[in-house]
Structures are given as C-alpha cells and as structure tokens.
C-alpha cells in the first residue's frame, strides 16, 4: 500500500499567509496572537513538507521567494474560503437562539416593524428575528414564516388571525406643501383636481388608490393624467415628506411622521372596519411564537 505523503497543517498555511500579507513575522504573530518564533517555526515546518524555501528571512520587509510567491497565489483564495467556512460553521454550531421569521409587505415592515425591532429584540434577547419584506401577495401567501402580516379582511386560512390595525386612509403632505396650497391640518378636501398627487405603481384592489378613495369618501376625483408611479409605499412617503405632492396615508403606518411634524394629516378619512393589517400564524400555540405575537399585538 502506497504511503500517503505528509500534508501541510492549517496552522502553517495561516502563518505563511499572514507573513506574506504583512511583510513581517512579527506583525503576523501579533495578528494571530502567537509569538514570532512560533510563526517562524510553523513556516519552517511548511517548507519541510514542500521541500523548498518560501520566505527570504534576511529581507526587510520579509518577502516570499519566487516559489513562495507562486505558492501563496495558488493557496490564498482557497485558504480564505476555508477560514470563512470555518467561522460560519462555528457561528452556526454556537447559535442556539430561537429563530423566528416575520413576513410583511414593505410598507408595514418599513414603517411599523422597523421602528420596533430594537425593543422587540430587547424584550426577547435570546431570539433571532428574520424579517422577510415583500410586495407580492403570492409571496406572502406562500411564505413559510412563523408570523405573517396580511393587509385584508380576516382570511380564515391560519390557526390564529387577529386584526391589529383597522383600515383608515387619509391624505397627507409636508407642512411646507400644505402652507403653499393653503391647507390646514385636518382640513377635508372636496376636489382633488388642483393638487399634485403621488401614485403607487400598481392598481391593486386590495389597496385604496386616489380614484377608489375619492369614490369611497364621496369627493370629486382628479382628472389629471398620471405621469409617474412609485413602486412601494415607503418611496411614496419619502416623496411626500420631501414636498413633492399629497399621498394617501394609512393609520398606524404614517402616525410617527405626523407626530414628528414631517407630514400634515388631511381629510376626509376612508374607514373599513372589516379590513386592515392582520397578524396571522399557524404557530401561535407554541411558547416562543405565542409570546412574540402577544408582544406585537400589545404594541397597537
């Protein structure tokens, strides 16, 4: 049976790599947290395995020989891959935290969940939360997340469903734009023709748009052609804060902007008691997820 040839150790490869990158065994030793003689010893062990000299020890800074440079170029990427994979595996093996995934539309995730994440993590320091935002209904329905936020009426598809925020939709705009248009906080609009309106990109029947909102509250809609559409709610809100026009705001999502004086609420409000943001889960009965759901519901 043919005897297997001796292979270099990972320690020797790491010592060689660090020395080449730093141009110094002393600096390599500092990075690795070992002594300089041990770095030298490990490189000599590597040279014995290979049968040649890898480092010019007389040069300052320390440089690899021609053969050493070639060898380092060949092993550098593979060594980095091994070290990254090792760190990742250590993290996976040592991370015993309970993992909880939460899926929601971008608007809700950005404006309602994100401001609460730090306090949620403080309330459950041993849990690892994964937020899965989406703009797609099909993705939300297909989601295997532990907790899902739907925007609709109660769907009856989950073991647990609770209406958290009932639908209430009203116009908002920046304070500067309100002043320019002669609008006061809470003022009810009766004609949209003279106002710059911000539109979402898709006419989705699940979400009120300016046309359906106008019909719902009984005021004259705008006849101006739509020149530009935004592809998600956070972008529309940012445009409204920047004074680019009026947008429709949802109670619960837009509240902090109003409280901070970034947006001015207008009227009238379109309310639909049977619709809104619903928290859903098939795992409400489990201890961990049940407690997180209770915490989220209490935030309303």
Q: Is residue 159 in some structural domain? A: yes
Q: Do 266 and 289 share a structural domain? A: no
Parent domain of 16: 10-86
Q: Do 111 and 140 share a structural domain? A: yes
Q: Domain containing 61 — which CATH number? A: 1.10.10.10
Q: Is residue 81 in some structural domain? A: yes
Q: Do 267 and 176 share a structural domain? A: yes
Work out the angle at residue 242's Cα, subtended by the Cα atoms of residues 241 and 248, and round it to the nearest 5 degrees. Answer: 45
Which whole-number Å values give the CA distances from 27 to 16, 17, 24, 35, 231, in the listed order? 12, 12, 5, 10, 51
pLDDT on residue 2: 41
pLDDT on residue 3: 45
Q: Do 184 and 37 share a structural domain? A: no
Question: Going by DSSP bridges, is the β-strand pair 98-105/264-265 parallel, antiparallel, or unpaired?
Answer: unpaired
Q: How many domains does the chain have?
A: 3
Question: Going by DSSP bridges, is the β-strand pair 160-173/264-265 parallel, antiparallel, or unpaired?
Answer: antiparallel
Q: How far apart are CA 147 and CA 103, in angstroms?
A: 6
Q: Do 291 and 160 share a structural domain? A: yes
- Residue 176, Cβ density class (10 Å: 0-12 exposed, 13-18 middle, ≥19 buried): exposed
Bridge partners of 172, per DSSP, are 247, 265
Q: Cis peptide before 268, with omega less than 30 degrees from 0?
A: yes
Q: Do 70 and 49 share a structural domain? A: yes
Q: Do 249 and 115 share a structural domain? A: no
pLDDT on residue 155: 63
Q: Do 263 and 139 share a structural domain? A: no
Q: Do 72 and 36 share a structural domain? A: yes
CA 188 from centre of chain: 37
Q: Do 280 and 188 share a structural domain? A: no
* Phi and psi, residue 98, nearest 5°: -70, 125
Q: Domain containing 138 — which CATH number? A: 3.40.190.10
Q: Is residue 91 in some structural domain? A: no
pLDDT on residue 89: 82
Q: Do 260 and 213 share a structural domain? A: yes
Q: Which residues contact 201 (CB under 8 A, 6 or more apart)?
A: 229, 230, 231
Show the low-confidence residues of the chain (pLDDT under 50). Answer: 1-4
pLDDT digits (tens, 9 = 90+) for 232-256: 889 999 999 999 999 999 999 999 9
Q: Do 227 and 109 share a structural domain? A: no
Which whole-number Å values give the CA distances from 239 to 207, 229, 230, 231, 234, in the listed order? 19, 11, 9, 12, 9
* SS3 state at 167: strand
Q: Which of 86, 115, 135 is the last residue before a domain boundary?
A: 86
CB 240 within 8 A of CB 195: no
């Amino acid at each position: 049976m043919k005897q297997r040839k001796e292979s270099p150790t990972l320690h020797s490869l790491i010592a060689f790599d660090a020395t080449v990158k730093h141009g110094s065994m002393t600096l390599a030793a500092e990075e690795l947290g070992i002594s300089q003689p041990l770095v030298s010893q490990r490189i000599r062990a590597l040279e014995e395995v290979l049968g040649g000299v890898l480092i010019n020890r007389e040069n300052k800074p320390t440089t690899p020989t021609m053969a050493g440079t070639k060898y380092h170029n060949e092993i550098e990427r593979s060594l980095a891959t091994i070290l990254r994979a090792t760190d990742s595996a250590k993290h996976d093996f040592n991370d015993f935290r309970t993992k909880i995934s939460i899926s929601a539309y971008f608007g809700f995730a950005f404006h309602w969940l994100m401001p609460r994440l730090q306090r949620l993590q403080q309330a459950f320091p041993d849990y690892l939360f994964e937020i899965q935002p989406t703009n797609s209904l099909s993705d939300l329905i297909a989601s295997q997340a532990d907790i899902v936020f739907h925007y609709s009426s109660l769907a009856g598809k989950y073991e647990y469903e609770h209406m958290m925020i009932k639908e209430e939709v009203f116009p908002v705009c920046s304070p500067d734009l309100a002043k320019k248009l002669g609008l006061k906080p809470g003022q009810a609009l009766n004609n949209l023709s003279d106002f710059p309106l911000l539109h979402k990109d898709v006419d989705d029947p699940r979400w009120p748009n300016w046309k359906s909102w106008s019909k719902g509250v009984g005021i004259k809609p705008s006849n101006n052609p739509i020149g530009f559409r935004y592809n998600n709610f956070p972008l529309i809100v940012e445009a409204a804060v920047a004074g680019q026009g009026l947008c429709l705001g949802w109670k619960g999502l837009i509240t902090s902007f109003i409280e901070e004086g970034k947006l001015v609420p207008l009227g009238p409000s379109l309310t639909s008691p049977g619709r809104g943001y619903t928290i859903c889960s098939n795992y409400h009965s489990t201890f961990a997820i049940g407690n997180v759901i209770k915490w989220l519901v209490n935030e309303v």
